[in-house]
Amino acid sequence: MKKGQSWNSLKTFSSFGRSGVKQNNDDLVNDRLLIDCGEDQDCVLGGIVALGKFDALHIGHRELAMHASKAGPPFLLSFVGMAEVLGWTYKPPIVALCDRNRVLSSWAPYCRNMVPLEYQVEFSKVRSLSPRQFVERLSKDLRIKGVVAGENYRFGYKASGDAAELVKLCEEFGLSAFIVRSVMDTAKRSHNGVAAAINSSDKGQVSSTRVRHALAMGDMEYVSKLLGRKHRLVLMVNQNCLHERKKIVLPNSCMLNMPPAEGLYENCDLVTGGYLGPCRVIINSDTIVIEMKDENSLSPNSIQEVRQLGIEFG
């Protein structure tokens, strides 16, 4: 990416070639920033990292990865453990942890046939950092080439830094900063004539909060538009799973991510490593019932031999 080059929905700020930032890795062993990378912390070396929480992996997140791929191998830098540190009420993930690689792999056609790789930062390790200290650690510890962030991105202690400060600090440390405009929610769904009240910072952009709201309303068509794919609910199969000829019943405790609202869902598909067939799904307060539309879809061994099932909601 050349200095000053701009893209349609992207404001580009570049400072490649700036010298004067000396690399110092003496403190990496005892205070590694990436929790799923080795001692050398070289997993994102020379790469472009997209910054965010990336809970839903929705189309706005995909847009960040897409722009990162225009300047180099794309990486996602996710911050984990925020709820525990900040005392937030627990919420199940929108995407099951075991399903995230599948979703990211599906983004390859948008990312120049490169699959974005995700690495995690323990929020407790960066919570007290000022905006400047945070960018300094990205530069010195991770030795990245640049960052991508949304125009509403906040960072640093008590979210004191914004996108403009991110650009300024990246320039100071010899990094490129790509600020991407928000992907707006064009569907703008309402329920019973009332538009969704998301939060005070909502400006109509696609967000994980908006996805959660749509799931809670059971509006799966809307969820699919926000995610850019069908929502997949992952279930852990255990001894509490009841299997009949064309029906599977599991307790809700088997769910590994956020389900839609209680109710009947007709146009679903059951998957494991492969496709098992179309089904209808009934979610209630304590169980989830999967009824196959083809009674020959489930063999006696097809469920016993798997540890997880996935339901995709049409």
CA distances from 222 to 22, 58, 215, 218, 226 (A): 49, 12, 9, 9, 6
Closest CA to 231 of 116, 144, 312: 312
pLDDT digits 0-9 by tens, 191-222 = 544 455 555 567 799 999 999 999 999 999 99
* Position 190 confidence tier, pLDDT thresholds 50, 70, 90: low
Please say if the pLDDT value at position 26 is more than 70: no
pLDDT digits 0-9 by tens, 110-128 = 999 999 999 999 899 999 9
CA atoms within 13 A on the CB side of 163: 19
Neighbours of 132 (CB within 10 A): 15
Domain topology for 38-180: Rossmann fold (3.40.50)
Q: CATH: 2.40.128, 1.10.1760, 2.40.30, 1.10.10. Which one for 231-313?
A: 2.40.30
DSSP string, 131-168: HHHHHHHHHHTS--SEEEEETT--BSGGG-B-HHHHHH
pLDDT at 25: 45
The whole-model pTM stands at 0.85
- Find which of 88-92, 231-235, 237-241, 271-275 is predicted with most confidence, using mean pLDDT: 231-235
Please say if the pLDDT value at position 101 is more than 80: yes
Domain spans of the chain, in order of start: 38-180, 231-313
Do residues 97 and 140 lie in contact, with contact meaning Cβ atoms separated by under 8 Å? no
pLDDT digits 0-9 by tens, 132-171 = 999 999 999 999 999 999 999 999 999 999 999 999 999 9
Domains 38-180 and 231-313 alike in fold = no
Do residues 162 and 135 lie in contact, with contact meaning Cβ atoms separated by under 8 Å? no
pLDDT at 299: 67
